[in-house]
Structure 1
């Protein structure tokens, strides 16, 4: 978890997308910057180490970020596996962003580590029990599970998080 004051309990975050005042930003979009991430199939090597991979989150650009957002939170999920299908089952990664810029490129974050660049942190660990820390890359063993991300533009201050916009991104099947 980030060492700054961004710590957020899982109980609070689980309700993040349903907070009163949450805005669905029709203009906020996410672009996968690596052509290997086509939204249909998880690229070779991007699976978890248990299945021979060295997976990382995809490099993404978020566009149409609302004014006032200072953090992007990304929930990674395996929609086909109930225990990890919602609320960041594969981990929640946080990114500091420049306020007012309107777009941000989110670095690719390696799986199974909590050692990350400045301005990037693990907001919540994955909920699997295989001993992986931080973000858990796709780990279904090639069974065709559907992986996705929910991207939240938030305003963080001393009172906590306020969701300004959210969007959904299909990452592909593995």
Structure 2
């Protein structure tokens, strides 16, 4: 019995020593007055008097091979726009393990710098947008968040993180 246990332990130890390390999750820090609790004044949609833009973000922990960072904006409180970038997906080209993602204006299809609209918001009618739809609940306390994905040059998701944007 002892002779079977020892080889099994050695195989297990060897497997652990050569197993690939787990990826560290992407870290995201908000800037520009966004605190993850409340959407800053004026950063909501024009339907309710705002001139919202995406929050500036500092992203770190990007894995090797990251060519783009995609940010999927969502409204957890409104099911049709609660996943997969319901409020739009914005892409930023990046190099290295960290990136500063600059704010881009809401509703715009053409963005400043090298940022681009990957998918416009899925809102319809008066909520239609060619790009990012800023929080647009009319101050009902909806909860907004973003999923941040590291994307390879071939379009593969390498890693992801999430950040709460706040309530509006």
Using structure 1 for the length normalisation, give the TM-score: 0.80
Shift of 1:27: 4.0
Matches within 5 A, 1:4-153: 25-34=23-32, 36-98=33-95, 101-129=96-124, 130=126, 131-153=128-150
Distance 2:144 2:84 in 1: 13
Shift of 1:28: 1.6
Shift of 1:56: 0.3
Instruction: Specify which of 140, 161, 164 is matched with residue 167 of structure 1.
Output: 161
Shift of 1:117: 2.0
Q: Is the 8 A contact 2:56 2:103 kept in 1?
A: yes
Distance 1:118 1:141 in 2: 30
1:110-160 C-alpha deviation (Å, 9 max, x unpaired): 001112123210000100012322100000000000000000001022xxx
How many equivalent pairs are there? 146
Q: Highest Rg: 1 or 2?
A: 2
Change (3 A) 1:65 1:132: same
Q: 1:6: which partner in 2? A: none
Which residues of structure 1 form unaligned runs of 5+? 1-23
- Backbone CA RMSD of aligned residues: 1.5
| Higher share in helix | 2
Distance 2:28 2:103 in 1: 14
